[in-house]
Structure 1
Amino acid sequence: MSGGTIYGVGLGPGDPDLMSVRADRLLRNARHVAFFRKAGKKGQARQIVNGMIPEGAIEFPMEYPVTTEIPLDDPRYNEVLSAFYADCALRLTELADAGEDVVVLCEGDPFFYGSFMHLHSRLKDVCKVEVVPATTGMSAAWTATGQPITWGDDVLTVLMGTLPEDELVRHMKDTDALVIMKIGRNIAKIRRALDTAGLSDRAWLVQYAAMPGQTVTPLAEADCEKQPYFSIVVVHGQGRRP
């Protein structure tokens, strides 16, 4: 394929010092920078790189048409988001066809529950796309607790707090170490599931891992009503060790 390249650049969990050398180099030489954000907000990815985008670079904010306004199980949710991703992909393709490289900023790792995956699936067969991996938010979260997440042969499971409660319990009982993401309004359901699985006394809540305002709290002492978007629950493995 000829033309420019679309770079999905992982920025890591939030601290610019945790970005990779390649991510830093691509960003500081970028002519076009795209990033996702909620309408009316600056966007977390954009905030991470404040002061790093070259003067004169053209910014392309991609504003989500919905976040929580439509329930996830409503068919309209996928329809609206699919059209949004298709439109963003078209805009990026036009830039690549004109010979321009574009750096797409991605929180965490682009291929780990990130929005860039939806662009990648639409772009990979029509223009050049490269993905720059990064440290994930969950890695920053368990590091913030000061304890290893897995030992020996421990099995690590990553769960979304949006799952039904019985599904959460089933997966929790079938693992050694645990990371739960997408906490938000699901915190009460998650705590009930951890209680049922017998893991509550080992669970930690980490807010804003590797960002300003980071907190690490035993889950039993945390607010049970609602948590910010950047919250992760961690349950450490207790496996084999010398």
Structure 2
Amino acid sequence: MTAGTLYGVGLGPGDPDLMTVKAYRLISGAQVVAYPAPDDGESFARSIAAAIIPPSAREIPIVVPMRVERFPAQAVYTRAAEEIGEVLASGTDVVALCEGDPFFYGSFMYLFERLSQRFPCEIVPGVTSLTACAARLARPLTARNDVLTVIPGPLPDEEITARIEAAGAIAIMKVGRHLPRLRRLIEGLGLIDHAGYVERATLPAEKAMPLADVTEAAAPYFSMILIYKGDEAWMLPPQSSS
């Protein structure tokens, strides 16, 4: 029996219109759909594709506890890989949904590392939050020989500072509760007027503004700070949008 193919399908940052044509085709024709889901609340990945998931499709939610520790989530993906592996071994394809891009901080990579040596896998790239945030700020991300550095917000101040100082353009992801600390750090580096902030890019609750205008004490998980230090004279939009 020929094994099924595991498709890692990038959904984009949230607006269903930003799914690729290939993603649309695979999801709308899927027999089995897998997706990450929190242990409390709706799956963001599923909500993006909800309108095109066939009613007859089998759904495999991968319920990941929202914890800092790595072990619980790793154990969840191991169990999910076993269930998905049984489907693939039967000859049926599985479409695994992933918000953003599967290989850019994407949850799909944990299935890929467990299943790609045993079954055919195909990656369908998606629009990343990085490029979506730049678009929503209406400001180019980087150019020419500028070095773009992507920094996870939870890193220590010393490491973030060193990476900002070495870069021409910076994207700080996973801002969340680290927002006040990151803002203070950016102000201390004299870069507050070079920084833009976006949360929930492309979604109805989106906010996009200069970082200097942000007054909240915390940000949602899906938020990002973009900083440009290069030679191009790019400015933030004169007004915030929300």
* TM-score, structure 2 normalization: 0.92
**Are the counterparts in 2 of residues 32 and 59 from structure 1 also a CA contact under 8 Å?**
yes
Output the CA distance in 2 between the equivalents of 1:164 and 1:152: 29
Contact 1:5 1:100 in 2 (8 A): yes
Work out the CA distance in 2 between the residues paired with 1:14 and 1:55: 21
CA–CA separation in structure 1 for the residues paired with 2:162 and 2:188: 10
Task: Check conservation: 1:150, 1:239, Cα contact below 8 A.
Answer: no
Read off the aligned partner of 1:95 and give its amino acid letter.
V
Q: Percent of aligned pairs with the same residue? A: 40
Paired residue for 2:74? Answer: 82
Alignment of 1:10-25 (within 5 A): 10-25=10-25
The aligned counterpart of 2:195 is 203
Give distance in 2, aligned partners of 1:189 and 1:119: 33
Question: Residue 48 of structure 1 corresponds to which residue in structure 2?
Answer: 48
Residues 79/50 of structure 1: CA separation in 2 closer, same or farther (3 Å cut): closer
Cα separation, 2, equivalents of 1:186 and 1:158 = 16
Q: Distance in 2 between matches of 1:24 and 1:237?
A: 38
State the AA in 2 paired with 1:59: E
The aligned counterpart of 2:57 is 57
Could you say what secondary structure the match of 2:225 adopts? strand
- 1:224 is displaced (CA, Å) by 4.5
How far apart in 2 are the matches of 1:108 and 1:2? 30
The code of the aligned residue for 2:169 comes to: A
Query: How do residues 51-200 of structure 1 correspond to structure 2 at under 5 angstroms?
Result: 51-64=51-64, 66-68=65-67, 72=68, 77-200=69-192
Paired letter, 1:118: Y
Assess if the C-alpha contact under 8 Å between 2:62 and 2:77 holds in 1: no
**Contact 2:35 2:61 (8 Å CA) reproduced:** yes
Q: Distance in 2 between matches of 1:146 and 1:140?
A: 10
2 CA distance for matches of 1:59 and 1:219?
Answer: 40
In structure 2, the gaps of 5 or more residues are 234-242
Query: 1:221: how far off?
Result: 1.6
Structure 1: 5+ residue runs without aligned partners? none
